[in-house]
Structure 1
Amino acid sequence: MNVTSATDTTSSTSSTSSTSTTSSNSVDYNTFLQLLIAEMKNQDPTNPMDTSQYMSQFAQLSTVEQATLTNSKLDSLLSSQALTQADGLIGHNVSFTDSTGATFTGKIASVSINSDGSVATLEDGTKVAVGPGLTLS
């Protein structure tokens, strides 16, 4: 829900206002950790706010850290799997139909892995995206 000022008279001002509000409300992992650690540093250790809240904050910190570590391990696992699949494609014959309807056949010489996916290069230099519509033999 977007709330604008009662004095706003133009729609461009209200859209600018809602955009800045949205960007300031997002908190990333590092900002969350900085806020949590700053709060813990500034507490009186002899009189913390509440034991259950204090332990809850430690649990949140641990949960966020473990989730981040899990994501990085999953990323490396996916990269490893993509390399294994790419290695298995080299030397296979492939056939595919491009967007114009022309059919191509050739032997895969190399495979590159980009952020968009895998791209196979045939022996004749033709590049084809590895995905639906590709037939290996």
Structure 2
Amino acid sequence: MAVDPVTGASSDTPSVSGIYTTQPTRVPKQSLDSEAFMNLLVTQLRNQDPSSPMDTNQMIAQTTQLAMMEKLTNMDSTNQENFALQMRMAAANLVGHTVNYIDKDGATKSGLASSVSYEGSVPVVTVGDQKIPLDSISGVVSPTPAPTV
């Protein structure tokens, strides 16, 4: 009877391979981040041919590309945060104004915006008893000032 030195299983009886009862699964990343680029660079350095090492100019160029990618990623997240803040500010400024919106049936309606909720990714404006997402509001009317006597 032959025994596999890695798994300890004999070739006569089928069994689960290795120490795992189920095969471990690896979820692949859907995007490249700085960690992935750094791993690639380190792997490239480890596996380079000692008789012809990597050109230092190439290494500097790759490091620069990594730094640029990190900065662009940071700028993207900052832009997303700024956009979310702008949406919140725009929604807050609607309170007390008459707004036009498109309801679930596709009809255009209007009403007075009384409050705003920031629970979801898109602010929700309350008009009467309706909860209207900010991106469904199609117009705003300034409140008329009270007449002075």
Shorter-chain TM-score above 0.5:
yes
Structure 1 residue 92, shift from structure 2 partner: 0.8
Aligned residues: 111
Letter in 1 for 2:96: G
Correspondence for 2:60 among 26, 41, 55:
55
Correspondence for 1:68 among 66, 73, 86:
73
Q: Are residues 1:118 and 2:123 paired?
A: yes
What are the superposed Cα offsets for residues 16-67 of structure 1, whole Å, 9 maximum, x if unpaired?
A: xxxxxxx9796521322332245457779xx841121111111111111111
Q: Would the aligned equivalents of 1:48 and 1:54 in 2 still touch at CA under 8 Å?
A: no
Q: How does 1:1-137 map to 2 (within 5 A)?
A: 27-29=31-33, 30-40=35-45, 48-100=53-105, 104-113=109-118, 114-115=120-121, 117-122=122-127, 124-131=128-135, 134-137=138-141
Letter in 2 for 1:59: T
Report the secondary structure of 2:129's partner residue.
coil
Q: TM-score, normalised by structure 1?
A: 0.61
Gaps of 5+ in 2: 1-26, 142-149
Counterparts of 2:56 and 2:108, CA distance in 1: 69
Counterparts of 1:25 and 1:105, CA distance in 2: 46
Counterparts of 1:97 and 1:54, CA distance in 2: 55
Q: TM-score, normalised by structure 2?
A: 0.57
Q: Would the aligned equivalents of 2:98 and 2:140 in 1 still touch at CA under 8 Å?
A: yes
Gaps of 5+ in 1: 1-22
Q: Indicate the structure (1 or 2) with the bigger Cα radius of gyration.
A: 2
